[in-house]
């Protein structure tokens, strides 16, 4: 079985260091409808890979299906992640195709003129990976407060006052544990808005600023092979 690429092992190691304790977030850069770059911080949730293919890792984060990034990704399904770990002074820039897994009840208007080639995600599809089960599992692993964040009004819409938020649901129970009609309604809405975001790395640029002189390594996936090059920082 082909091994995980060296950057993947290095990333896991960096992430496990105590000095990087709160660095499980990265910036996700996309393109908007004006063809301008957009970027925001998201929380890393998990690594996946097709069965038998740890050399094809995928990064998993989550979002609300109503955020602008979802339509941006739909229209231009290629992104770059910047994962800066200040504790250990490591930067991983990770570029590749991206996919959003929505609720089966949600359809985006098809505006995409572009299909981004994918290997890991296509293989998981072929292997019958159950994306909806994964979506429900990740949803259920979140706190009751976090679950409630997906039954707010649409993100980015205008409010009269910060205090308007106090009228929104504050918690949503786990799946199978909603008892009141209100809890059931909120859970349904939260689940409808909750989406997985999957990034398949095909190019990784790793800078190690704690090394003196600094190290910088570029990993490029060609087919199933990872090429590794030492480059000038």
Binding stretches for its own copies (CB under 8 A): 22-23, 25, 27, 29-31, 35-41, 76, 78-82, 84, 86, 91, 93, 95, 149, 152-162, 164-166, 168, 211, 213-215, 218, 229-233
Output 45 or 78, the one with its CB closest to its own copies: 78
Output 34 or 180, the one with its CB closest to its own copies: 34
Residue 64 C-beta: closest distance to its own copies, Å? 10
Residue 93 C-beta: closest distance to its own copies, Å? 6
CA distances from 33 to 37, 71, 100 (A): 10, 9, 17
Alpha-carbon gap, residue 127 to 107, rounded angstroms: 24
Residue 1 C-beta: closest distance to its own copies, Å? 29
Residue 38 C-beta: closest distance to its own copies, Å? 5
What sign does the dihedral 173-177-178-179 (CA atoms) show?
Answer: negative
Residue 210 C-beta: closest distance to its own copies, Å? 13
Angle at the Cα of 21 from the Cα atoms of 233 and 95, rounded to 5 degrees: 40
Contact 206, 6 (CB under 8 A): no
Output 50 or 186, the one with its CB closest to its own copies: 186
Contact 185, 65 (CB under 8 A): no
Contact 215, 135 (CB under 8 A): no
Residue 126 C-beta: closest distance to its own copies, Å? 26
Output 118 or 149, the one with its CB closest to its own copies: 149
Q: Is 163 helix (H, G, I), strand (E, B) or coil?
A: helix
DSSP letter for 90, please.
E
Alpha-carbon Rg for the chain in angstroms: 19
Output 30 or 187, the one with its CB closest to its own copies: 30
What sign does the dihedral 87-89-90-93 (CA atoms) show?
Answer: positive
Q: Is 224 helix (H, G, I), strand (E, B) or coil?
A: coil
Residue 157 C-beta: closest distance to its own copies, Å? 5
Output 25 or 108, the one with its CB closest to its own copies: 25
Alpha-carbon gap, residue 172 to 147, rounded angstroms: 6
Output 117 or 233, the one with its CB closest to its own copies: 233
């Amino acid at each position: 079985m082909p091994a995980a690429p060296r950057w993947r092992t290095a990333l896991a190691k960096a992430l496990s260091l105590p000095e990087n304790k709160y660095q499980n977030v990265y910036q996700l850069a996309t393109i908007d409808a004006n063809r301008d770059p957009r970027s925001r911080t998201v929380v890393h949730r998990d690594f996946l890979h097709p069965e038998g293919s740890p050399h094809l890792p995928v990064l998993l984060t989550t979002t609300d299906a109503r955020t602008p990034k979802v339509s941006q990704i739909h229209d231009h399904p290629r992104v770059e992640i910047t994962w800066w770990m200040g504790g250990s002074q490591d930067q991983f820039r990770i570029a590749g195709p991206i996919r959003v897994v929505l609720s089966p009840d949600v359809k985006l208007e098809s505006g995409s003129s572009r299909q981004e080639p994918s290997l890991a995600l296509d293989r998981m599809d072929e292997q019958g990976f159950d994306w909806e089960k994964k979506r429900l599992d990740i949803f259920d692993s979140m706190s009751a407060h976090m679950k409630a964040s997906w039954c707010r009004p649409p993100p980015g819409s205008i409010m009269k006052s910060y205090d308007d938020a106090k009228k929104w649901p504050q918690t949503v129970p786990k799946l199978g544990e909603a008892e009141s009609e209100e809890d059931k309604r909120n859970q349904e809405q939260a689940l409808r808005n909750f989406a997985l975001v999957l990034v398949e790395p095909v190019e990784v640029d790793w800078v190690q600023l704690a090394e003196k002189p600094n190290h910088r390594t570029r990993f490029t996936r060609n087919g199933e092979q990872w090429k590794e090059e030492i480059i000038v920082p």
